[in-house]
Every structure is written in C-alpha cells, then in structure tokens.
Amino acid sequence: MTADTLRRSPLGHLADVLAAHSSSGERGVSLREIPFLAQLDLQLQSHGPAAQRIGRALGAPLPADPNTVAVAGERRVLWLGPEQWLVVGPDGSAPATAAMLRAALEEEPGSVVDVSANRTTLELSGPAAREVLEKGCALDLHPRAFPPGRCAQTLVSKVNVVLHRVGPEPTYRLLVRGSFAQYLADWLLDAMEEYRHPRLTP
C-alpha cells in the first residue's frame, strides 16, 4: 500500500452526489471536486531580480496587476497580494515546482511554502454558474468585472475562498480549506437545486 492509495480528499465521498446534481441546457450547472492540486505560496519582492528569474523559470512573468492570473504551461499563478502569489499546478508537481522556485529565489529575501494539503478545489461550471455563486458572494461577477483570468480572495456563504474564473464558459474554481469543504459543497448543491428542473413558463 502506497501513500497515494491512502490519500483521501475532503469531498471524495461526495463524487456521486455532485455528479447527480449536475444539469444541462441553458440553465445548466455542474459541480465537481478537483482534489490534490499542487499549491505553493510564494512571497518575494515583486520588482527584484528574483521575480524576474522566477518568471523565466515558470515560463510566464509573475502577475503584477491585482487579482490577475498568469498561465504558465500546466501551472497557474494567482496574484494574492503585492508580494504574494499562489502557484497552482497538477497533482504531484509540488516538490519539483518548489525546488525550481527556491533555486530561482537564490539568496534574496522570500519564501516558498507547500500549502497543497491546506485546500481542495471545487469547480462550478455551466451557464447558470454565475447565478449560483451570486447567491452567496458579494463580488461583482459580471464578465466585464470578473472575466476569465481573474481571481480574488473573497467569501462565499461566509466561507473564505480563493475564487478563480477559468475558461470562456462560466467556470469558477473555488479553493477552500479542507475543514470548510463539506459545508461549502452542501451550500452550493442547495443553491443549484432550482437549476435541476426546467423553468416553468406561463
């Protein structure tokens, strides 16, 4: 038995429930967990030589504009603060990515911390995804204000999340602490309930 077989995601037991609540059509919405994504908290001076070295190592400059995201191959780099980013990558990539970032940091002040076990990821997608989120999120999620490639630290139904919009179709990823994942998933499923049924017309 390996460490991989012992891993349990916070919402692994809900996979069938999440799939059963998905709907299609013009009011469709679906919810799934994307477990075990690599997540690295990166802090350093945003305009120093290390930031340039790390950008070259990643294959994309660190995003400088607030609440924006840089795509670097299979990785996404989310702006969390003036000198803080979250590097998100595929399952299993954290050790190699952390080593690469630390090597590029060299002796400059900064830190690279593996926080992969801290959060899981919920993905909400479909034409009605924005309407579902708006029931519990105070952010302006209109595409003009929150287009693909934007991120934000916010509250969804009183739960702290890192919210990231991906793709042209309304698709949102919610990075949430494992201890709050069940509550947030239950809230989203309840908010999705009305979209499981066709809209009645007079």
* Dihedral sign from CA coordinates of 168, 127, 17, 119: positive
Between residues 202 and 36, the one the model is more confident about: 36
Bridge partners, 31 (sequence order): 124
As a dihedral over the C-alpha atoms of residue 45, residue 54, residue 98, residue 119, rounded to 10 degrees, the angle is 70
pLDDT of residue 3 exceeding 80: no
pLDDT at position 198, please?
62
Alpha-helical (H) ranges within 80-152 are: 94-105, 129-134
Say if residue 202's pLDDT is above 60. Answer: no
pLDDT at 1 over 50: no
Query: Average pLDDT for residues 117-125, to the nearest whole number?
Result: 97
- Assess whether pLDDT exceeds 80 at residue 170: yes
Cβ-based burial of 135 (10 A; exposed 0-12, middle 13-18, buried ≥19): middle
User: What are the CA-CA distances from residue 50 to residues 4, 16, 67, 81, 184 (Å)?
Assistant: 34, 45, 21, 17, 37
Give the rounded percent of residues in the chain with a pLDDT score beyond 70. 95
pLDDT of residue 25: 81
- Supply the pLDDT for residue 7: 85
Element (H, E) at 198: none
Domains observed in the chain = 10-35+118-196 (3.30.1360.120), 38-116 (3.30.70.1520)
41-88 residue pLDDT tens: 999 999 889 999 999 999 999 999 999 999 999 999 999 999 999 999
141-164 pLDDT tens trace: 999 999 999 999 999 999 999 999
| Contact call for residues 39 and 86 (beta carbons, < 8 A) | yes
Residues contacting residue 2 through CB under 8 Å, at least 6 positions apart: none
Distance of CA 185 to the CA centre of its chain: 14
Dihedral over alpha carbons 107, 41, 141, 71 (to 10 degrees): 60
What mean pLDDT, rounded, does the chain reach?
Answer: 93
Average pLDDT of the residues in 29-52: 96
- SS3 state at 90: coil
